[in-house]
Structure 1
Amino acid sequence: MRKLSFIMILILCVSMVNAQKSKVTGASNYLTSGKLDKAKEAIDAGIGHEKCVAWPKAYLIQGKVYQAIYESPLPAYKNLAEAPLKIAYEAYLKCMELDVKNKYSKAIKAQMTNLIPDYTNRGVQFFNVEDYAGALGAFERVLEIQELEMFKADNFAVDTAVIFNAGLAAQKASNFEAAIKYYKKTIEYGYEGAKTYAYLSKVLKDAEKAEESLTYLHKGFELYPDDAYMIVELINHYLLGPNPNEAVEYLDKALALDPENASYYRAKGTVYEKINELEKAKEMYKIAISKDPKDYITQFNLGVMQLNKAGTAHKVVNDIEDQKKYDAALKDIPKLYEEALPYFTKVLEIKPDEQNSITYLKEIYFRLRNEKPEYMKKYEEFKAKLEKM
């Protein structure tokens, strides 16, 4: 009885093998004729009896079908599977594992070769919709495929663009460890020059590796001293740090390369403002505006500087104990506040809804409401405007 049962199981298994082979052949035929829905249905059914047969060709056809689904321009076919490239890649690996006689090695290599641009394009698609983890996974798969033994003899050129993009995707996904790894690898191959050093420095800083971050920033500058991108990164580093005066050296370098760039003069003005050299700051801001009359940020900075000057003077007056001296000094204060008005007004000419400038104008006009009748009207105007925002 046991022998009979074994024979029945064996017959059933052989029957299933034949059914599987028939499904796989059918899937291959449907694939050739471009009927991907039928091909998928057939291969899904044919691949479902793994315990009875380990037929490498079945996985080769499965990979081809799912790769064709990804590559199809027709939405009806493209939407047949959620992750067709993953299924295709895993199917090819399974085929390689089972194909001990290397019967399908050339076919697998051809398909794997086509997977490289497929996964590269998929990475770009993920990146463009801001799925940065997905983009990283796709770019890493490209690198993984290129490292397969079958490609060793081909001496493929290192795909530095994919390595760089993997770093960029990792950075966007806040995967600092992966970003550092791929940016350092990109630097090894000299790809993207100064930009890679700047990106690596930023990631290292975000990963709380400040010392190493600064090392790469300076190394990048040493190698690319005339690269504007590198110079700007150093400017920003020092401008936002505890020693903003150290940014002046790099700002001067930037201005030598691009003397018409208003943002460099504005940045230099910011440095001087931070180190309390206010006249130099004002001079730089004025030059920035002359280079770019639409630069509302510099107009705003000048307004704030003047407002701070008025506020400081007002505090000094408030500390005067002698009434006559106090009254005399107080008369000069409104004029100082009035001198801030043109800057904030100019900001609104350039950017009408700049809320901070509207707030400052409301406050200044309220402070000056008793100086001129129109100032009270202006206060009401900006108060109403703020309430509507």
Structure 2
Amino acid sequence: MRKILFILVMILSVSSVFAQKSKVTGAQNYLISGKLDKAKEAIDEGIQNEKCVDYPKAYLIKGKVYQGIFESPLPAYKNLERNPLDIAYAAYLKALELDQKGKMLKPVKIQMTNMIPDFTNEAVNCYNNKDYAGALFAFEKVLEIESMDLFKDNPVVDTAVIFNAGMAAQKAENFEKAIKYYKQSIDYNYGGAKTYAYLSKVLKANDNEKEAVEYIHKGFELFPNDSDMLVELINYYMFGGEPQKAADYLDKAIALDPNNASFYSAKGQLYDKMGELENAVAMYKKSIELDPGKFIPRYNLAIIEANKVSKHHKEVNEIMDAKKYNEALKVVYSEYEKVIPYFESALEVNPGEKNSLMILKEIYFKLRNQKELYLEKYNEVKAQLDSME
């Protein structure tokens, strides 16, 4: 009798295991027929049972189902899970972990090979949607897969992914990882001058000024005619208290690319900073000529003209003789009128720019008693600024 009971218990136990494993088989069949919703439902149910928790094939099928959800072009299936690729990846790793006989190596390798373009596409989508942390995560998954023992017979150094991981990390302000991946890119001679330029930026952002400068100069030595390196050197010296060196590199940059409006604008700012206003004006005008849509040279040109009049106004205010003062003040008012078009020009390319509006409001206020038009303009600009508060 006991023997019969024991046999019955064994039969029931085997039936239970078979029932749960049949869920896995069912999920596989649904997957083959393209019914991803049914496949997900079956594998989710089957894999939760204690009889399948250590069943490697269950995790292989789970990975395939969730990878299929990610790869599906149909929104109804794509929306079944928020992060299907991550779940698939974890399932494949679990299948390898539980595999005692090596049966999972070949099928998991096939799926992992397909995951490389999947994670790459995910990274690109995240990057384009400005989810830079998500892009970094996906790029790192590609690198992680490529470094697995599964691929040791055909090792891959995916330099493009390494570089893009650096860019994503930089955008995500994960400077430590950006430094790591840019340095790896340099080790593999990938990215040229751009890699040195980007690395110097993230090193500086990570408070490593000394190393940042070293990479700027090293990059310039290797790529002396590259505009990216020149821009980095120009910025470093322009804002680092050595304007003459910045000017030298700007001249080189202009010689390499004489139609680059940004270089002339930068040189205008440099002359501005050095107090060489006539040269600054010439550079700003050249920049506007090459690129009429640029705001900075238009605005800086307007500021120079406004400052000239403001300085003259202060000098006139020192005149004690009433008659001379009134005559001189008329000249100042006419000079203010000549400044107006400069700021209006800046606002044409950047409508609503607050600083330009605030300065125009002050000028219109000064001129409000000269012409009724300026009082009207003052009220218009004041109302515009008030609406921005």
Q: Is the 8 A contact 1:245 1:272 kept in 2?
A: no
Deviation at 1:141, TM superposition (A): 1.0
Deviation at 1:43, TM superposition (A): 1.7
For residues 329-351 of structure 1, what are the alpha-carbon distances to aligned partners after superposition, in whole Å with 9 as ceiling and x for unaligned?
65653344334223123334444
Q: Is the 8 A contact 1:245 1:275 kept in 2?
A: no
Q: Is the 8 A contact 1:262 1:291 kept in 2?
A: yes
Q: Is the 8 A contact 1:119 1:139 kept in 2?
A: yes
Partner of 1:206: 205
Q: Is the 8 A contact 2:20 2:52 kept in 1?
A: no
Correspondence 1:299-338 to 2 at 5 A: 299-319=298-318, 332-338=331-337
For residues 222-247 of structure 1, what are the alpha-carbon distances to aligned partners after superposition, in whole Å with 9 as ceiling and x for unaligned?
22221222222322333344334432
Q: Which amino acid aligns with 1:170?
A: A
Change in Cα spacing, 1:12 to 1:222, as seen in structure 2 (3 Å) is farther
Give the stretch that moved more between structures: 210-219 or 317-326.
Answer: 317-326
TM-score (norm 2): 0.88
Change in Cα spacing, 1:39 to 1:225, as seen in structure 2 (3 Å) is same
Q: Which amino acid aligns with 2:285?
A: K
Change in Cα spacing, 1:357 to 1:45, as seen in structure 2 (3 Å) is closer
Q: Which amino acid aligns with 1:314?
A: H
Partner of 2:132: 132
Q: Is the 8 A contact 1:166 1:182 kept in 2?
A: yes
Deviation at 1:113, TM superposition (A): 0.6
Q: Distance in 1 between the 2:359 and 2:46 partners? A: 73
Q: Distance in 2 between the 1:38 and 1:114 partners? A: 23
Deviation at 1:367, TM superposition (A): 1.7
Change in Cα spacing, 1:170 to 1:17, as seen in structure 2 (3 Å) is same
Q: Which amino acid aligns with 1:201?
A: S
Partner of 1:55: 55
Q: Distance in 1 between the 2:86 and 2:3 partners? A: 43
Correspondence 1:256-267 to 2 at 5 A: 256-267=255-266
Partner of 2:357: 358
Q: Is the 8 A contact 1:16 1:52 kept in 2?
A: no
Partner of 2:44: 44
Give the stretch that moved more between structures: 115-124 or 98-107.
Answer: 98-107
Q: Distance in 2 between the 1:55 and 1:378 partners? A: 79
User: What secondary structure sits across from 1:154 in the alignment?
Assistant: coil
TM-score (norm 1): 0.88
Q: Distance in 1 between the 2:81 and 2:362 partners? A: 61
Partner of 1:297: 296
Give the stretch that moved more between structures: 266-275 or 15-24.
Answer: 15-24
Deviation at 1:110, TM superposition (A): 0.7
Partner of 2:340: 341
Change in Cα spacing, 1:348 to 1:53, as seen in structure 2 (3 Å) is closer
Change in Cα spacing, 1:290 to 1:69, as seen in structure 2 (3 Å) is closer
Change in Cα spacing, 1:250 to 1:82, as seen in structure 2 (3 Å) is same
Change in Cα spacing, 1:377 to 1:15, as seen in structure 2 (3 Å) is closer
Question: What RMSD, in angstroms, separates the aligned Cα atoms of the two structures?
Answer: 2.9
Give the stretch that moved more between structures: 339-348 or 47-56.
Answer: 47-56
Q: Distance in 2 between the 1:154 and 1:145 partners? A: 13
Q: Distance in 2 between the 1:135 and 1:296 partners? A: 32
Partner of 2:76: 76
Q: Distance in 1 between the 2:293 and 2:26 partners? A: 68
Runs of at least 5 residues in structure 2 that lack an aligned partner in the other structure: none
Correspondence 1:91-240 to 2 at 5 A: 91-156=91-156, 158-240=157-239
Change in Cα spacing, 1:310 to 1:137, as seen in structure 2 (3 Å) is same
Partner of 1:14: 14
Q: Distance in 2 between the 1:135 and 1:3 partners? A: 61
Q: Distance in 1 between the 2:5 and 2:164 partners? A: 58
The number of residue pairs the alignment matches comes to 388
Query: Percent identity, aligned pairs only?
Result: 61
Q: Distance in 2 between the 1:207 and 1:351 partners? A: 33
For residues 12-64 of structure 1, what are the alpha-carbon distances to aligned partners after superposition, in whole Å with 9 as ceiling and x for unaligned?
54333222222222222222222222222222222223467633222222221
For residues 346-374 of structure 1, what are the alpha-carbon distances to aligned partners after superposition, in whole Å with 9 as ceiling and x for unaligned?
33444443333232222113223444555
Q: Distance in 1 between the 2:94 and 2:291 partners? A: 62
Q: Distance in 2 between the 1:121 and 1:155 partners? A: 21
Change in Cα spacing, 1:333 to 1:245, as seen in structure 2 (3 Å) is farther
